[in-house]
Structure formats: C-alpha cells, structure tokens
Amino acid sequence: MPSIEPADSANPRDDDSREPESRVTRRAERRQRSPKRRRRIIVWSTISVVVIALACVVGWVAFQTLQAKSELEAAQTSVSEIQTQLSSLDTAGLATSATDFAAHAHAASMHTDDPLYRLAEALPVVGPNLAAVRELSSSLDQLGSTALMPVVDFSKTLSPDSLRPHNGAVNTALLTTGDATLASADASLVEQQATVAAIDTSNTVGQIVSAQKQMTAALSKAHDQITKVRSTLATAEGILGMNGTRHYVLAFLNNAETTALGGGPASLSLLTVDNGAFSITDQGSSQNFPTNDGPVRDIDPNLINLYSTGINSTLNWSTARPDFPTAGETIKAWWEKYKPEKVDGVISINPIALSQLLAVTGPVTLASGEQITAENAVSLLLHDIYLRYPANEIQAKTDVFFADAAKSIFAGLTTTTADPQALLGALNTAIDSGNIMAWSPVAAEQKLMDGSKLQGVLPNDNTKSTVVGTYFRDVSVSKTDFWLETATDLTTDVCQNSENPTFTVTTTLHSTITPEEASSLAPFVTGAKFKGKKFSTEVFVYGPVDAHVTLTNAGSTSVYAVDVGNAGDLGRPVAHFEVDLAPGETNTVTATFQGAAGAYGPPVFTATPMMNPTKTTMTAAGCK
C-alpha cells in the first residue's frame, strides 16, 4: 500500500521558489512607497527651513527694532540735555549733546532701513508699527543732520574773543551767519514736522501714537523758539546799526544829587552806532540844556502835581519818577530840542555800576593820566571831584572832567579784553541793582527788555510780587547825598490777609555831614538855596497796586506831608513828604496803605539806587 506524505512535507523547492518572489514583491512595494516618503521628507524639510528662516527674519527684525528703540531713547536723553544747555548758553556741552543726538538718530534710522525690516512691514498687525517707527527714525535722522548739526557747527565758531568788541566794534557777521543758519534749520524743522504729522499711526500701538504726538509738539515748539530767536536777532541788527546808523543818549546819573532812579543826568553823551561800530560823537552837560525855555514835552498833569513842573522842564529832574520809560522819553526830548540828532534810545549808568564793571575790566585812564578804578570810582565821581577845584571854577571844571571820564570809560568798556562771561555777570549785577537802565521808542526793542530790571519799571499788578517802594529826590540843588544815609522798614500782613492787607512803611533819613564839612563846601556843592545850613529831600512812598493811603506820620516839624492823596501814580497810591535835615540830623516818616481784595505775591521792597544803599528790614508774618 502506497505510503502517503504529510501535507507539510511538500517539496522544498517549492518553498525556495516562493521566497524570492516575496522579496521581489516587498522590494517592489518599497520602490512604490519611496517617492511618497521622499516627497514628505522634502515638504517637511522645506517647511522647517521656511520656519527657521522666518524665525531668523522675525528675530532679526525684532533685534533691529529693539536696537532702534534703544537709540531713540538715547536720542531723547540728548534732547533733554540740549534744552538745558541752550538755556545756560553752554555751547561746549551743546556741541557734545547735539553730536550724540545726531549719532543716535542716524543709528536708529539705519536699524530700520533694512530690506528684511521693510519686508516685515507688509505683515498684518505688526507691519504698520514697524513702518511708523522707521519713518519717525528717518525724520529724527534728517533733523540731526540738516537742522541741529549746522547750528552746532556755527556755535563752535563762537568764542569769548569772537563775542568781544574789537576796536570799538562788534562782529556783525556773526549775527548775519547765525540768522542764515537758523533760517536753514527752521526750514528743515518745518519740513520734518509735516512729515511726522503725515505718518499713518491709525493701526499702531499707543506708544507710537504718543511718540508721534510728542515729536510733532516738540518740533512745533522748536519752530516757535527759532522764530523768536530770529526776531531777536533782527531787532539786534537794528540796535547795532546794521540797517542804518543809530544814535543813543548815554545818561550818566549823578547819585550825589538823588532822584528816584538814582540821580540827575548831569552829563550826556551821544553814542553813534554804525554797522556794529560804536563811537561817542557829541557830549553835553545840564548847562547845555536851559531850564527856562518851558517844558520839553507834554506830560500827564498828574505828574506835574506830584513832581512839579521840573519833571519836564529841568533836565536833572527828568529821572524823578521811578519809571525809566518816562525818563527816557524826556531825555530824548531834551536832546532833540537842543541838538540836531534824532535819538533812537536812552541808556543810563551811574558810578556804582561803573565800579562793578571796572572790577572786571580793570581801570580806565583819563586824558590827564588819572585812573578810575573799581575802588575809587564812586568816591572820585561823587565826592572827591567836588573838593578839587576853586568855588568859581568847580562847575565848569567838573563838566569837563565828567565829559572826559564818560569818553574814557566808554572806550575802555568797548575795547576791553576781559572775559565776556565775567563782564556779563557784572553787567547783570549792575542791572539787577537798578544802576543800569535802558529805553527804546521802538516797540520791538523795548519788548526785548520785558521782565528785566533793565526796563526800570514797577510791576502793574501784585500777582507775582507785591512791590512797595521808597524813592528820594534832592530839592536843595546840592551835590551832598554822598553824606545821606537812609533806612526803611516794611511791616505787612499780606501773606495772611488777601482781603484787606496793610502795609506800613517807615523811612529814616540821616545826614552824616558835619557842620564844619558843610561850611567848607562850595555853594555849587551845598546848594545856594540853603547854603549848607540844611538839606532838603523829598520822599515818595509808593504803595501796592490798587491800594490807598490810610495814615501818614511826618514825625517832626522839619518834615512836611506834601501830598497824601490817593490820586497816586502808576496805579499806586503815593505818600509824598519833604524832609529837611541839618548836618548830623535824623528824621523819620511813616505811611500806611491798605490793599484791595485780590491776589498778592510775596512782598518786595524797592528803593532809589543810592551811593549808600538803603538799609531795609521787613516784618511779614506768614511769608516764606
């Protein structure tokens, strides 16, 4: 019987034939799958590269944006420094800060002026922000290069030597160049202001909107400031005779013969200015301006009542009112009545101011070889000169001396090699103490002095400060106020009572001259009126604006309350006394004022600039 083989013991060759077939099939299947896999790998690789590239782009743009932000913040710091340096006229610091600003602004612009950065501006949401930052940075860069740096380059040409007068003339080319530089800078400012205002920030974050507004406002402010500076330069060009010759009267006030503003203008000089060159072209004394020809100009009748007709018919009393514009107009009228030139302004100076200036410039030498120094100016010009000549020659000789002194002093001041900053400091001291004043009939020139004591005016309200003043006028026709000492006490409750504050002003006058000294002086010095037996001084006490006089006390039979009415002057009540002093005598006057309800600033006391400054005390409860 035939044997039967198990099914699983088939022919091995059959198995061998199936194995190769399986490998082939698998290889075929793999070959079919490979293109798909490769395509997937390529796709994912590409995506990865794109993602990495985008990440790099985003990172690069983010980096550039942060760098630009850092540079813009640094530029903002420089702007703050520039504003401070402009205020203090720190040209060296300004050059450094402006250079820093320009460098930071340019760097910010470069960080945002990049192909990838511009590409990112097309992105939604973030794109408008990037575009706005780029445009702001570009505008700042333009400002730095076209507006700020040219101004800085010009400022580098300024030096103590370039600002100093040379041979009696100032360098007017500086004004011309400076104005042209500012005009160019202003044109750039205006252009960039329009550019910044046109930047679309409608889809940007609040910080960028705020930055645009701040920059627009800053550019507008800078434009206004440049406009004001250029207006000032234009006015200065007129003052310096760059648009035609100018004539100014220099009034040398004599503190030995006191008036409200310091002293009578017994010596006048005509200062002629032609394209920055200064010269004294004429001179005169009070003797050249007669007092018997009637008033030189129309004046408020109230001033005639308060100061008598002498205020506009006697040259030496033209400074009797504590208001230099009044004095300036009157002195101008005096000169134009008796001299041929039209006067373009009046400047006053006294020996006290001269002493302050000579402390910086050094002494001046007169034609005689005599020197006037900071140490001897006051005593020489207000005392010693009156003891030098015989009685019958003193008036003529002192007139000649004062004319020579005025010319020599002016020459010394306009050719000095002193440090301009130190000279400016001395000039400011003299102005702040009321020893130098100026007035111009040209409104723009007068406006330049607004807020400065150079104007020689009292405030027209009490808001910033509540000013009370005591002013003196010699009516002995003497030159003896070298020996006059004054003191004033102000007591007020204005800091605690703004409804009806009171102000009590007590003024003491003391003559230090001895009977022997008085009798030895020439009548020209003591005054022919009293011949040295006594000396008469008027006292004008000005109360606050809108106040009224409530009480006066003459204190002595040698004191006369001339006018205690409330017609007043300059919007203020005035208590008017006349005080007679024998040699060595002391007298006191008192005036009390009551203010109206209103706003009051801190109390301030002012007085006539005296050779012996008025000693002042103040009792003001509650005031800081």
Q: What is the CATH number of the domain that holds 347?
A: 3.40.630
Side-chain half-sphere exposure of 583, counting CA atoms within 13 A: 15
Query: Do 381 and 479 reside in the same domain of the chain?
Result: no
Query: Do 498 and 585 reside in the same domain of the chain?
Result: yes
C-alpha to C-alpha distance for 235 and 443, rounded to whole angstroms: 10
Q: Name residues whose C-beta falls within 8 Å of residue 408's C-beta, 6 or more positions apart in sequence.
A: 364, 365, 366, 367, 372
Query: Do 430 and 555 reside in the same domain of the chain?
Result: no
Query: Do 307 and 429 reside in the same domain of the chain?
Result: yes
Query: Do 466 and 590 reside in the same domain of the chain?
Result: yes
Alpha helices (H) in 159-281, listed in sequence order: 160-163, 172-197, 206-239
Query: Do 439 and 477 reside in the same domain of the chain?
Result: no
Domain annotation covers residue 22: no
Of 381, 416, 445, the one marking the end of a domain is 445
Q: Name residues whose C-beta falls within 8 Å of residue 495's C-beta, 6 or more positions apart in sequence.
A: 600, 602, 603, 620, 621, 622, 623, 624
Q: List 470's β-bridge partners, or say none.
A: 541, 607
Q: What is the pLDDT of residue 571?
A: 93
Domain annotation covers residue 160: yes
Query: Do 321 and 185 reside in the same domain of the chain?
Result: no
Query: Do 432 and 528 reside in the same domain of the chain?
Result: no
DSSP state of 313: T
pLDDT beneath 50, residues of the chain: 1-10, 12-14, 17
Domain annotation covers residue 35: no
C-alpha to C-alpha distance for 126 and 138, rounded to whole angstroms: 19
Query: Do 154 and 261 reside in the same domain of the chain?
Result: no
Type of residue at 414: T
Of 445, 473, 497, the one marking the end of a domain is 445
Of 179, 209, 239, the one marking the end of a domain is 239
Residue 145: count of CB within 10 angstroms of its CB: 15
Q: What strand order describes the sheet that includes 603-607? A: 559-563, 574-581, 535-542, 466-474, 603-607
Q: What is the pLDDT of residue 2?
A: 42
Domain annotation covers residue 89: yes
Q: What is the pLDDT of residue 297?
A: 95
Q: What is the pLDDT of residue 383?
A: 95
Domain residue limits at 154: 45-239
What's phi and psi for 206, nearest 5 deg?
-60, -35
Q: What is the pLDDT of residue 198?
A: 92
Check residue 298 and give left, alpha or beta (phi > 0: left; psi -120 to 50: alpha). beta
Q: Name residues whose C-beta falls within 8 Å of residue 9's C-beta, 6 or more positions apart in sequence.
A: none
Query: Do 269 and 151 reside in the same domain of the chain?
Result: no
Our count of domains for the chain comes to: 3
Cα–Cα nearest to 535, from 566, 556, 504, 511: 511
Query: Do 498 and 531 reside in the same domain of the chain?
Result: yes
H or E stretch covering 536: strand 535-542
Query: Do 469 and 586 reside in the same domain of the chain?
Result: yes
Domain annotation covers residue 511: yes
